[in-house]
Chains A and B, each alone.
Chain A
Amino acid sequence: MTIESEDNQGDEMETTASKGSLSDISAARLQKQPGNSALGVGLEARGVHAWFGEKHALANVSLDFWPGTVTALIGPSGCGKSTFLRTLNRMHEFIPTAAMAGEVLLNGEDIYAAGVDVTKIRLKVGMVFQKPNPFPSMTIAENVLAGLKLAQLKVENKDDLLEECLERAGLWSEVKDRLNTHGGALSGGQQQRLCIARALAVRPQVLLMDEPCSALDPGSTLRIEETISQLSSSVTIVIVTHNMQQAARVSDYTAFFLSDGGPGQMIEVGSTNEIFSRPKDERTENYVTGRFG
């Protein structure tokens, strides 16, 4: 399945969102296969461990993210999925006691190798946070273009980029008349889409989303999910979510994380339809059928 088949996905999603089991929902999605893509080699985690001080939070996760696909990380709270997400763009090291082991390869090169410029990594691997966090001192337009200023990038035509990013984030029609007002006046869902537009403006190859809808109402959640579906043709997306319906609706692949009291581990990864219809591991089945977690 290639990128061209993306267009009708949004419609399908809406029709299936309200009915059916998780496996029905995920089956209705057009499955994307790993394959040739113009989006680069992709992102691969190899034996990633993570610690906070003495606490071993994540053990031995190896996971490939295929270019142009959406991968959902699911699992109960405290299973290390957000920690894993943050190792993928080196935001993990933002916590003073953090440590890690293993490799994360972006286009075949380890982002933790000595001499790697971490700011360049974060340009290629963007991030959207759990709570919408537009910069309070900036207007909507300034927020979208903030990445250019922060990373000191030059752009030919800022207005075009501004419109393009807001369009891709599905926000343009709602804010085009008030680009110079403050982002704080927007609703939570709009703020989150503003943050997505902001992340897109530096043209990342991969977009990490850490429970982007957990602070939003169902309507805004649906809009963000549409946005994710539309973006997935041009950006590789990794999304952490507690909402399994959401994982079933938006992702091509799903990885299930679990902690049995010790460090979090990845129990199983597979195509989303597989995970929700015929998981191989009993624990995955228990989780996706709602028997625990």
Chain B
Amino acid sequence: MSTIEKLPTPKPRKPWAATPVDRLKTAGIIAVAALVSFLLVAATPLKGKLAYAVVFFFTYLIIDFVVSLLKAGRPAAIDSLFRGLATTTIVIAITPIVSILVTVWARGHKGLHWTLFTKDMHSNAFTDPVIQGGLLHAIIGTFLLVVIAMVISVPIGILTALYLTEIRGRFTRPIEFLVQAMSGVPSIVAGLFIYAAILVPLTKAVNGFQGSLALAILMIPTVARTSQEVLKLIPSDLREAGVALGGTQWRSVALVVVPAARSGLITAMILGVARVAGETAPILLLTGGSGTKNYNIFRGSLGSLPNYIWQAFAAGTPESITRAWTGILVLLVIVVILFSAARILGNRKVGKK
């Protein structure tokens, strides 16, 4: 019988990591691809940065494919091609987003100043120097619109999802279909619906609540669909365990299923908010665009960020256009703050220190 000798603990290595030779090879392929794309653009009528990028991506993929094919065979070559394609696609998907963020910052940050958050526009015009006036009324308005829309649509959306996943009654199929169809409703349609159903026959005037109702119509399908997907992921074992302990279905859902799905349901809520926070069409139609602070959503014209942005662009002077970009910047920041806050809330485990 042999005993195992005591060896010194070896140093941890990563034998699968790229070696300097591999890196050199990748760098070589990139260099060759860059050269080829430069020559191609120079030799053909192709022009501009975009042409360079496109030609570079394709030549890189082709050269990489051929090198892998010669060195490691077809399966490895296809694997490497697929990896290259996926990486390229990510770049294509992210480019517009980054571009938007950069543009918004570049054009909007000039209008940032502290009084944006303390003053409204009741004594200023959009064409005044950007240092005058502020966004307070629009921030308050957007906040009120979204919060009220949330208060209306989150319970309806989540209860709809609970009907679809937990109760599974006779109407499950048609309602599922309807919710799906509703998530494609253009926002102007929701706006017109409230306009025809409430503004024209009843109130005959703009107010914030009507805007919230229209936003709620847009939010409900998003909240319901996302919640439904989240609830579907909860193992049926948990539901059965709740019921097997002598709970009614309602108590089992309320005490077991919903808490288990909590972070997902919060995500559903955020996605709903994200869907409507920048929504402009129904707001223009229903809430008006007052430049003065208004805390009453049931009475009077209510300013909001989308409306502010729209009005500022429409005014057309350099000052007002800077104002519009600043408005967009503030709106983006608010949405990002909302997202992060809800993410943090949703990920926090109960009882975890």
Q: A: which residues have CB within 8 A of B?
A: 89, 91, 94, 96, 119-120, 122-123, 126-127, 129, 131, 133, 135-139, 146-147, 149-152, 180-182, 195, 198-199, 202
Asked if A122 and B245 make an inter-chain contact with CB atoms under 8 angstroms apart, the answer reads yes
Q: How far is the CA of A119 from the CA of B251 in the complex (A)?
A: 11
Give B contacts to A, CB under 8 Å. 168, 235, 237-248, 251-252, 255-256, 259-260, 262, 349-352
Q: Are A199 and B349 in contact (CB under 8 A)?
A: no
A96, A131, A136, A151: the one within 8 Å of B260 (CB): A136
Which chain B residue has the least Cβ–Cβ distance from A204? B246
Query: Known: A96-B168, A150-B251, A150-B255. Is A195-B244 also a contact (CB below 8 A)?
Result: no
With a cutoff of 8 Å between Cβ atoms, the chain A residues found around residue B237 in the complex are: 129, 131, 133
CB–CB B243/A91 < 8 A: yes
- Evaluate contact between B168 and A150: CB separation under 8 angstroms: no
Q: A122 touching B241 by the CB < 8 A rule? A: no
Tell me if A146 and B352 are in contact (CB < 8 A).
no
Residue of B nearest to A89 (CB): B244
**Shortest Cβ distance from B242 into A: residue:** A150
The smallest beta-carbon distance between A92 and chain B, in angstroms, is 11
Which of the residues A127, A135, A136 comes within 8 Å of B244, measured between beta carbons? A127
Q: Cα distance A119–B248 when bound, in Å?
A: 6
Main SS at interface, chain A: mixed
Are A133 and B238 in contact (CB-based, < 8 A)? yes
A180 to B351, CA, bound (A): 8
Contact B248 A126 (CB under 8 A): no
Cβ-defined contact, B238 with A150, below 8 A: no
Are B246 and A146 within 8 A (Cβ)? no
List residues of chain B with CB within 8 A of the CB of A131.
Answer: 237
A98 to B237, CA, bound (A): 17
B248 and A181 contact, CB distance less than 8 A: no
Given contacts A136-B260, A137-B260, contact A147 B168 (CB under 8 A): no
Can you give 8 A-B contacts (C-beta < 8 A)?
Answer: A122-B243, A126-B245, A127-B244, A129-B237, A133-B237, A137-B350, A150-B251, A150-B252
> How far does the Cβ of B296 sit from chain A's closest Cβ, in whole Å?
39
When the two chains form their complex, are residues B238 and A199 in contact, meaning their CB atoms are under 8 A apart?
Answer: no
Complex Cα–Cα for A147 and B240 (A)? 12
